[in-house]
Structure 1
Amino acid sequence: MTPRIRPLQKSDAPGLAALVTGYRRAMGAGGSEMLETDAHRLISSADADLNILLLGADAGTGLLGFALAFDLPEIISGRNAGQLDDLFVAPEARGIGLARALIGRLTEIGIVRGWTHLRWLVPQDNIAARRLYETLAEPAPWDSFRITLA
């Protein structure tokens, strides 16, 4: 089945909560479980006017993946770029093209919005994701750093 990529609706909150819980665990956040109320709030925060995109991936059996992205002012070009902040596909749904489809939909949106590029970060130890991303994009010539504030 061809994956369906679509904006998330409030009715997707239970599925999103389960996916985010899995994502948090995969990112090393331990047992941090997302509640449905938090998923509702996240879905409500996605707003085209605010340039926040929250897309879901569905292969006919329910929500199996998500991507959160936004418009980012890009000072060098004077235009906007797309920033893919989070992307996750349920382990049982990997390998059927959902991540590729989510990124593909974001590039389509980016073309319409006039983005100069779509960029994202990937943990250095996520070899499977890095292999996929190398088939879709070229590595950027810089590393990312962070200061934890909380």
Structure 2
Amino acid sequence: MPDITVRALHLDDRAQWDALYQGYATFYNVTQTAQMRDTVWSWLHDANKDPRGLVAARADGTLIGLAHFRPFPRPLSATTGCFLDDLFVSPDARGTGAADALIENVRSIAAGEGWSVVRWITAENNYRGRGVYDRVASKTAWVTYDIKI
């Protein structure tokens, strides 16, 4: 992975981040507007909000992946965990190690913060992503439920 660098999201990454985040929404068949992306972008650059952003870039500066993550309290263990909300690698960059690099950087940040776990969810049919996840993490026995508000 010498040609891939993972770094914090910068303000001048907006156009490339926007394209990646649109790709992420499309992958999950989520309708997402420019206004919704504006909101997420603002959260990622607001010191009073929890989400943080990383990007994976090729040597020429082209962004090929993103990760958004945040701390969350874990009352039962009296610790803070890290929730990996979004992870996406552009289709043309899959298999390059970008996903592994993004996950490893999130894990490293979590370790540096003293967080107890990095946790995420994915779609049952995200087979390619799950191939990576099965290699770098342990699948849990937990089942997820939502109540729509």
Does the alignment reach a TM-score above 0.5? yes
* Residues 39-78 of structure 1 deviation map (CA, whole Å, 9 limit, x = unaligned): 6524423x4x654321111122311110000011011211
SS in 2 for 1:111: helix
- Percent identical among aligned pairs is 28
- Stretch of structure 1 that moved more, 140-149 or 62-71: 140-149
SS in 1 for 2:129: helix
Mapped to 2, the partners of 1:9 and 1:59 lie a distance apart of 15
Cα distance change on mapping 1:33 and 1:108 into 2, 3 Å: same
Mapped to 2, the partners of 1:16 and 1:143 lie a distance apart of 31
Moved segments of 4+, more than 3 Å: 32-35
| 5+ long unaligned stretches in structure 2 | none
SS in 1 for 2:45: helix
**Which residue does the alignment assign to 2:59?**
60
Cα distance change on mapping 1:21 and 1:79 into 2, 3 Å: same
**Which residue does the alignment assign to 1:87?**
87
SS in 1 for 2:132: helix
**Which residue does the alignment assign to 2:128?**
128
Provide the alpha-carbon RMSD of the alignment. Answer: 2.0
**Which residue does the alignment assign to 1:112?**
112
Contact 1:18–1:34, Cα closer than 8 Å, also in 2: no
Paired residues, number: 146
* Residues 126-146 of structure 1 deviation map (CA, whole Å, 9 limit, x = unaligned): 111111100001101111111
TM-score by length of 1: 0.88
**Which residue does the alignment assign to 1:4?**
5
Mapped to 2, the partners of 1:134 and 1:6 lie a distance apart of 24
